[in-house]
Amino acid sequence: MEVKHNDVIAALSALIEKGSAKGKRYVRHEGQTTYEERKAATRTQMQREAGLSQAMSSPAGLAKIASNMANPVRFRLDYKGIFRKFSLVEQIPDGVPIIYDKDIPQAPAVKVGEFGAPPIVEMEGQRVELTPFEISVKANVPYSELGNRRFRILDRAKDRIIEGMELREDLTGFGLIDSASTLANVPTVTTSLFDVDTMAMAFAQVEKNRLPVGSVLMSSFATMGIRRLTFQSLDQVGMQEVRETGYLGSFWGADFYVTDQIPQGTAYILTVPKYLAWLAIRKDVDVIPADDPSNLRLGFVGYWHAAMTVFNALGVQKLSFNPTV
């Protein structure tokens, strides 16, 4: 009798289902798939890849793909560095010593120590030499995440690296500003909100040194005081800007900057950059690949190498106010 191939396969399948003669039944383990299920999954995957290839061959298809590559849900704004707005930024060639000469030897200066050590105060002297230090941030992305995420995870990893480096640069710079604020000028302290009278007193402490005020660095609680200013304190144009933006972009010739990286109830009145701080850069922010294939990781390293100093403590005035009034 002729036995067909399909009949043999059917008989074997039935035997597997029934189990052995001892009565043991075949057990299908969790996650185990049959041949037909694997074949269907492969067919579906091939259809998806064909559709993706077709979409990538036309501008309309690429636009549709890009629209689906949405950004991740964010809970707050990315941090943007601002210390460079208060300092002179200079690219220093390799091998050139980072040295500056003081115009007034008696003006106190603050610099970052070796390897990013706590601030060092230079009280007097004709010349100051700075020691560069490094900032580095690393990010790893598993290979599997490239397919799991709906956004461009590698681009986002680079953004987060730059954000982290800018934050560390600012924290170091803000530390220098705070140290310099106690060396030459007596801090201004008030129990009221951040208001016009308080600002006027703090501005005067910098201007008495024959220095123009260029910027104000303040915590977010200072905007609460500015929002409560009345028309007796500001003209109509200024009041309209307060209503629209929440704080003044410029007032009395000074630019206002808000950050959550300084304590509540604190503000710094700063002179213009050329009389205040110096950022000497050996290597500016650079993101380079740093993959780890043995652990199936894609990676990046952000690197920064520079020196920082607030060379004129006379141009920094610290203002402490009550943020809860």
Mark whether 167 and 254 lie in a shared domain: yes
Backbone angles phi, psi at 159, to 5 degrees: -60, -40
- In a shared domain, residues 95 and 180: yes
CA distances from 311 to 19, 276, 308 (A): 86, 6, 9
pLDDT digits (tens, 9 = 90+) for 181-230: 989 899 999 888 888 888 889 999 999 999 999 999 988 877 777 767 66
**AA identity, residue 186:** V
Question: CA dihedral in degrees (29, 31, 37, 42; nearest 10)?
Answer: -140
For the record, the structure tokens of 114 come out as: 């070796």
* Better pLDDT: 246 or 286: 286
Give the range of the structural domain holding residue 57, as residue numbers without chain letter.
33-68
pTM listed for this prediction: 0.70
The model's pLDDT over 149-191, given as tens digits with 9 standing for 90+, comes to: 656 777 777 888 888 889 999 999 999 999 999 898 999 998 8
Nearest to 209 by CA among 316, 136, 282: 316
* Co-location of 158 and 38 in the same domain: no
Inside any domain, residue 289 = yes
Residues 136 and 54 in one domain: no
Residues 6 or more apart in contact with residue 77 via CB below 8 angstroms: none
Boundary of a domain, candidates 24, 44, 68: 68
Is there a domain that residue 240 lies in? Answer: yes
Asked whether residue 136 falls in the same domain as residue 274, the answer is: yes
Q: Are residues 175 and 119 in contact, defined by beta-carbon separation less than 8 angstroms?
A: yes
- Report the share of the chain in percent with pLDDT over 90: 24
pLDDT tens digits, residue range 238-247?
Answer: 656 655 655 5
In a domain, 12, yes or no: no
Q: What is the pLDDT of residue 269?
A: 96
Q: Same domain for 40 and 96?
A: no
257 — phi, psi (to 5°)? -130, 135
Same domain (yes/no): 60, 180: no
Return the CATH number at 156.
3.90.1690
**Domain boundary residue, one of 41, 68, 95:** 68
51 assigned to some structural domain: yes
**Residue 215: beta bridge partners?**
255, 270
Do 117 and 38 belong together in one domain? Answer: no
Following DSSP, what letter does each residue of 67-114 receive, concatenated?
HHSPPPP-SSPPP---GGGGSEEEEPPTT---EEE-SSTTS-EEE--G
Q: Of 110, 315, 118, nearest to 206 (Cα)?
A: 315
In a domain, 79, yes or no: no
Q: How many domains does the chain have?
A: 2
Examine the domain organization and report whether 160 and 51 are in the same domain.
Answer: no
129 touches 96 (CB < 8 A):
no
> Are 38 and 179 in a shared domain?
no
Q: Is residue 78 part of a domain?
A: no
Q: Give yes or no: residues 61 and 96 share one domain.
A: no
Q: Is residue 24 part of a domain?
A: no
Instruction: Return the DSSP state at 187.
Output: P
Contact 323, 265 (CB under 8 A): yes
The answer to the question of residue 224 being in a domain is: yes
* 172 and 226 co-located in one domain: yes
pLDDT in tens, 248-272: 677 788 888 988 898 888 999 999 9
